[in-house]
Amino acid sequence: MKKIKEEVLGEGDWIKLLRSTFLDPRGKSFFWEHIDRKNNKHAVLILATFEPSGDVLLIKQFRPGVNDFVLALPAGIVEHSLDEVHKDAVRELQEETGYLGEVTEISPVLSSFPALSDASVQLVQMTIDENLSINQNPQQDLELGEIIETLRVPRRDIKSFLLKEAQQGTIIVSGLWYLFAFNPHN
C-alpha cells in the first residue's frame, strides 16, 4: 500500500478527521477516513489487582463519545517518554481511583484501534497493597468533566459482574470481556 494523498476533513483541539487516499498493489486507488490524535497519541491501560485478595480494580466512567457510562480499566494519556510509562501509570491510577499501586509488568506498544486511529497503548499490570494506609481511604483527583466510580470485583466473579452490568445497560469495553470472560484464568 502507498498513501498518495491526505486531506483534513475537520479538526478540533484534540483530534483531526482525515481522508487518506491509498494506491493498492494492483494500482487501484481507494480512500479511508480515520482520526489522528493531535497531541499525545499514546496511553496507558492499567490492570490493577489488589494484594493479597486478588480482587480486580475496574472503573465506571462517563464517556462523552457514547454519552453514557462505560465499564473499563483505569487509563490515561502518557505525559512522559515511552521509557517512563510506569510513572504515568502510577499517576493515572492515583488520579482516577485514589489508589497507590506498584508496576509489575508493561506490555510492548500496542495499537488501540488501527482501523480508526493512530493511537497506541501499553497495558500496565499493577498491584495495589490493600494493607497500606494510603489505600484504606483512597481519594480521587479527577479532572473537570471526569465522573469515575471505582469498583473492586473479586476475580472469580468478574464474568457474572460484567453480564449483570450489561443487562443493566452499562456499556462494557471490549477488552474487559476478552480479559475476563473469554480468558477467565487471567
**Domain total for the chain?**
2
Same domain? 29 vs 47: no
47 within 8 A of 61, measured Cβ to Cβ: no
Boundaries of domain holding 25: 2-37
pLDDT at 71: 97
Burial grade of 16 (CB within 10 A; 0-12, 13-18, 19 or more): middle
- The answer to whether residues 90 and 22 belong to one domain is no
116 versus 129: which is more confidently predicted? 129
Reported confidence tier of residue 180, pLDDT bands at 50, 70, 90: confident
pLDDT at position 37 is 87
Going by pLDDT thresholds of 50, 70 and 90, the confidence category of residue 123 is: very high
- Shared domain for 23 and 107, answered yes or no, is no
Q: Which of 29-33, 76-80, 90-94, 161-165 has the lowest mean pLDDT?
A: 76-80
Q: Tell me, what's the pLDDT at 150?
A: 97
Which distant-in-sequence residues (6+ apart) come within 8 Å of 41 by Cβ? 118, 119, 120
91, 31: one domain = no
Q: Are residues 68 and 145 in the same domain?
A: yes
* Residue 160 sits in the same domain as residue 84: yes
144 pLDDT above the threshold of 70: yes
Average predicted confidence (pLDDT) for the chain: 92
**Per-residue confidence (pLDDT) for residue 183, from 0 to 100:** 65
Task: Report CA-CA distances (Å) from 137 to 60, 83, 145.
Answer: 18, 31, 23
- In the prediction, which pLDDT does 160 show? 93
* Same domain, yes or no: 87 and 32: no
Q: What is the CATH number of the domain that holds 53?
A: 3.90.79.10
Mean pLDDT of 69-73: 96
Percent of the chain exceeding pLDDT 70 equals 98
In the predicted structure, residue 163 carries a pLDDT above the cut 60: yes
**In a shared domain, residues 101 and 25:** no
pTM higher than 0.95, yes or no? no
Same domain, 75 and 105: yes
Same-domain status, 10 and 63: no
91 shares a domain with 123: yes
* Residues pairing with 17 in the sheet: 10, 35
| pLDDT surpasses 60 at 36 | yes
Band (pLDDT 50/70/90 cuts) for residue 184 is: low
Query: 107 is written with which cell numbers?
Result: 506490555
Q: Are residues 73 and 129 in the same domain?
A: yes
